[in-house]
Amino acid sequence: MEIVKSEVVIIGAGLTGLSLAYYLRNSGLAVSIIEARNRLGGRILTQYVEDGAPLEAGATWLGVKHEVLNRLLEELDIGIFEQELGEKAVYEPISTSPHQIVSLPPNSDPSYRIQGGSSILIDVLAEKIDSHQIHLGEIAKEILKTKDGLIVKCEHSAYQASWVVSTLPPHLLVSTVAFQPQLPEELLAVAAKTHTWMGESIKIGLRYRQPFWRNKNSSGTIVSNVGPIPEMYDHSNYEASHYALKGFLNGSYYSVTRAERLEMVLRQLRKYYGPKVDDYLSYEENIWREEPYTYVDYQGHILPHQNNGHSVYQQAFFDGKFFIAGSETASQFPGYMDGAVRSAHSVSQKILNM
């Protein structure tokens, strides 16, 4: 098996992995990034079509409070725009009564989206990094501590380095990657019960020729206790030239077919908007629990965000040579894009100060 040598190996080319490589770009350290999928971005995935609104299958919103992410976006000259909510919302509190149109209070903490789609952030980060550093389709299988440094054994090659940084969601890491010697018991126990944010979620989107929901007695903002769509929003593009609705579907519907999910989605939307919902241009969905490089089943019950930001992730392992980064490990905003960038920044500082 070929052995690729570098000083830092980053496992995973999601937002954490790519921003870590970006923060290390002027360090003079040779960095390799290994990524199991044949695409970059991990849980950031914008679905593009010609002449249609880009649809976010993964991360979408950020707020003013996400300071580290906002700073990175500014540095990279990437714009954001406010999520369109309208003045009203479709509200369905209970299945035995019809839905209502309610007025929304003024929004003092708006959400923002990335102009052109969240994947723009991934694309711009990747442009800043030498493409030869990135190895797609490489699945990390085992991490070994040897007298010559750490070795990451992958599907095709082995990667040797002084420092290895995992950016996998911690539960995925300890469930799918073997370690020699074994990692400390305390870490394994925490990681086994660290929730991967949004791992069970289903996102659905529909593109339309016209934003028919934007009128006096309607809204693209949907809040339903009845479902199967609990939340949905206007997802038209930044230029306001292409229109779409995007929302979540109750995660338990992963077990039915795509056609059945689509029919459920349309049935719910018909209640609010009538038959025009059937004239959609395209339907997209992403079932994250079916993505083996994001989600793996837990043993036992787990709460949303459980163990996210746990202090064990601030330690380094294997004599200070192995770090567990990734959004879920951040001490602020774990699980979110901001957490991913914070975790990358924090590990970059630890490596640069060694």
Please calculate the CA angle 297-287-94 and round it to the nearest 5 degrees: 100
Minimum distance of ligand FAD from residue 276's CB (angstroms): 27
Beta bridge pairs of residue 158 = 3, 153
Give the whole-angstrom CA distance, residue 294 versus residue 185: 23
Task: Verify binding: residue 126, ligand FAD, rule CB under 6 A.
Answer: no
- By CB under 6 A, what part of segment 196-225 binds ligand FAD? 197-198, 201, 203
Task: Verify binding: residue 44, ligand FAD, rule CB under 6 A.
Answer: yes
One of 16, 83, 219, 268 touching ligand FAD (CB under 6 A): 16
One of 169, 220, 228, 247 touching ligand FAD (CB under 6 A): 169
**Alpha carbon of 14 to those of 33, 34, 119, 274, 340: distances in Å?**
10, 10, 10, 39, 9
Give the whole-angstrom CA distance, residue 113 versus residue 83: 6
> By C-beta, is 268 or 329 nearer to ligand FAD?
329
> By C-beta, is 152 or 218 nearer to ligand FAD?
152
55 near 212, Cβ under 8 Å? no
Task: Verify binding: residue 322, ligand FAD, rule CB under 6 A.
Answer: no
335 near 305, Cβ under 8 Å? yes
> By C-beta, is 90 or 337 nearer to ligand FAD?
337
Minimum distance of ligand FAD from residue 96's CB (angstroms): 30
Task: Verify binding: residue 309, ligand FAD, rule CB under 6 A.
Answer: no
One of 13, 120, 164, 174 touching ligand FAD (CB under 6 A): 13
**Alpha carbon of 34 to those of 10, 136, 283: distances in Å?**
6, 6, 32
- By CB under 6 A, what part of segment 277-296 binds ligand FAD? 288, 293-294
Minimum distance of ligand FAD from residue 167's CB (angstroms): 5
Q: Where are the alpha helices (DSSP H) in the chain?
A: 15-23, 67-75, 119-128, 170-176, 185-192, 258-273, 337-352
317 near 340, Cβ under 8 Å? no
Q: Enumerate binding residues for ligand FAD (CB under 6 A).
A: 11-17, 34-37, 42-44, 58-62, 139-140, 167-169, 172, 176-177, 197-198, 201, 203, 288, 293-294, 326-327, 335-337, 339-340
